[in-house]
Structure 1
Amino acid sequence: MRHIPAVRRHRLGDELRRLRRSAGLTSGETARLLGWHQSKVSRIETGVSRVKDTDLAGLLDALRIGDPQLRTLLGALAGTAGDGPGWWQAYGGVIPPGYRDFISLESQASAARTLETSVVPGLLQTPGYARAVTRAALEGLPAATVDALVDVRLARQEVLRTATPLELHAVLDEAVLRREVGGRAVMREQLRRLAELARLPHVQLRVLPFTAGGYAGLTGPFVVFSFPHIADLDLVVLDHLTNSLYLERKEDLEAYRAAFDTTQAHALSSEDSLDLIAGIGDGA
């Protein structure tokens, strides 16, 4: 059984409780509809127990939840969507469960706020840059494994090209632009890609210049995901190359939201950020 972060179990339980109450049912009535003991409904709604995919489907049917997007999102929170036919399942032998879980959530998110302090965010990387980062971070990997990890990184970018694309807000430390990952040619191509993507209506890219000095997110990169349909469901994830760490305390979520907002406020405007990217690219 896969580990599902407690923050997700609790958020899922809160939403299921809200949906049950909206349906005008008590926990006892819901349990009787499903042939369960009332304590099972209670354990699911309080986040004590992980809900199986079949149980979640039955529960949503009992609550008359027919919206397929909402059902899929709730499945992702429960950890059941990651067990389905997502494209990332083909890489099960290469990427660990935590990373697959991250990709599942990313594919369901409506928005992401990301701060990067050292490398270009995965969703914005070119193939050459992704390969250079993978080789540098995980030295000694077989060529086939490197290829697979790069494929995963590039496949994730599809969320920016769908009919309802992910709304991405990215703040990059200036160091990200000036570090020559993979050499000058790779970096020049990467800077051009950043400029292209930054012009998309659903991508906001801003650079925090060296002149800004110290800032709240200086200690490391992070991602804050937001989801459709469910209010106050933001999740903070520390995204590493092949794994992810979920922060489970509400205090952490609030701290990272504030850190992103503060950092973004001290960053260059979108237009000035594009000028800086172009200037560095011309000199690369």
Structure 2
Amino acid sequence: MSALPEPLPEPADSLAPVLPLGKDTGRAAADRMLGQELRTWREARGLTLRQVAPVIRGSVSKISRLERGESPPKPRDVRDLARYYGVDDQGMRTIEQLLEHAQSSEWYEQFSDVTPDYLKRLIQMEGDAEEICVYENLVVPGILQTRAYARHMVRAVMPSARPEEIERVVDLRHQRQFRLMEGPLPRVTALLEESVLHRRYGDPEVMREQLRHLLDACDIAKVNIRVLALSRAYGATPPYPIMHLKFGDPDQSELAYVEHVSSATYVTRPRALDDHRNALTNLRHAAESREDSRRLIAEAMARFT
């Protein structure tokens, strides 16, 4: 196995600016998330836009605008489509929550007091991604954390935070996880250093619950959890977490996200993006198989007795 190239620092002019999200931008993001969910259910049923247009007493273009998030969703139309698609109870709860957020404002605005602008931008884009690959070398990724694990981790990195602030950060992470895990997209690959499984946050019960949660996530078809075993010599690894997002939009097909202590870098310049993508590809190749990764997680869980 060849060693990974050391990730290169990105030139300053290649960093996408981290801009605050306005209310209109957030509403548009919520509309797109709801539209994507409806499109996913329609395509899963093998239905065309023309076939479902009469369900909402509209035209093909009206359905198309709704699915692209280009027109405000009407609750009656959304629910009529969901019933016509035969959406199950769990899917209906997801649609109702997305509809609520699309009507009010971006769902994460309720956590604006504990959410920096650079993270708001990531949350918005996560909902539009088709694939997410995240590498973590210190902790379980936020989108796979249990509430108890997240609570202890947030306390460790925000020692001066008030208890209510910590709970709001935990609530935010839980909401992000719910939205990313529901539905067929985005597909999620998590590359974890084996040390993450043994680094303790909270008591043994908290760790057992967290590792059990990872094992349960392994059973979700769209989730691929892979462990980088300590026993293997696979060369240099990035010294920081990386998240890589792929989109269906040809105008913005992919980007990488690197979070720092109090800021974040959005990598879009082709050369730097290649470096991060190649690093993650090499890590995938070096990681244990899905079954061996499950075994390592189960063995780590057995240690917390």
Q: RMSD over aligned Cα, in angstroms? A: 3.1
Match of 1:181 in 2: 201
Distance in 1 between residues matched to 2:117 and 2:126, nearest whole Å: 14
Amino acid at match of 2:195: A
| Alpha-carbon distance change, 146 to 88 in structure 1, aligned in 2, over 3 angstroms | same
More deviation, 235-244/199-208: 235-244
Match of 1:48 in 2: none
Structure 1, unpaired ranges of 5+: 10-51, 58-63, 73-80
Alignment of 1:1-284 (within 5 A): 66-71=64-69, 85-213=105-233, 215-230=235-250, 233-239=253-259, 243-284=263-304
More deviation, 163-172/268-277: 163-172
Match of 1:46 in 2: none
Distance in 2 between residues matched to 1:94 and 1:124, nearest whole Å: 19
> What are the Cα deviations for residues 17-62 of structure 1, in whole angstroms up to 9, with x where unaligned?
xxxxxxxxxxxxxxxxxxxxxxxxxxxxxxxxxxx969xx9xxxxx
Shift of 1:108: 1.4
| Alpha-carbon distance change, 90 to 243 in structure 1, aligned in 2, over 3 angstroms | farther
Task: Tell me the secondary structure at the aligned position of residue 182 of structure 1.
Answer: coil
8 A Cα contact 1:212 1:267, kept in partner: no
**So what's the TM-score if we normalise by structure 2?**
0.66
| Alpha-carbon distance change, 186 to 135 in structure 1, aligned in 2, over 3 angstroms | same
Task: Tell me the secondary structure at the aligned position of residue 111 of structure 1.
Answer: strand
| Alpha-carbon distance change, 171 to 283 in structure 1, aligned in 2, over 3 angstroms | same
| Alpha-carbon distance change, 192 to 241 in structure 1, aligned in 2, over 3 angstroms | farther
**So what's the TM-score if we normalise by structure 1?**
0.70
Structure 2, unpaired ranges of 5+: 1-12, 18-22, 29-60, 71-100
Distance in 1 between residues matched to 2:165 and 2:262, nearest whole Å: 12
> What are the Cα deviations for residues 188-233 of structure 1, in whole angstroms up to 9, with x where unaligned?
1100000000111000000000122354433111000011243761
Shift of 1:161: 3.5
More deviation, 235-244/112-121: 235-244
Amino acid at match of 1:206: R
8 A Cα contact 2:146 2:213, kept in partner: yes
Identity value in percent: 30
Amino acid at match of 1:139: P
8 A Cα contact 2:126 2:180, kept in partner: no
Task: Tell me the secondary structure at the aligned position of residue 92 of structure 1.
Answer: helix
8 A Cα contact 1:172 1:207, kept in partner: yes
Shift of 1:248: 3.6
Shift of 1:102: 0.9
Distance in 1 between residues matched to 2:179 and 2:132, nearest whole Å: 11
| Alpha-carbon distance change, 231 to 195 in structure 1, aligned in 2, over 3 angstroms | farther
Shift of 1:7: 6.5
Shift of 1:100: 0.8
Structure with higher RCO (Cα < 8 A, 6+ apart): 2
8 A Cα contact 2:134 2:243, kept in partner: yes
Equivalenced residues, count: 223
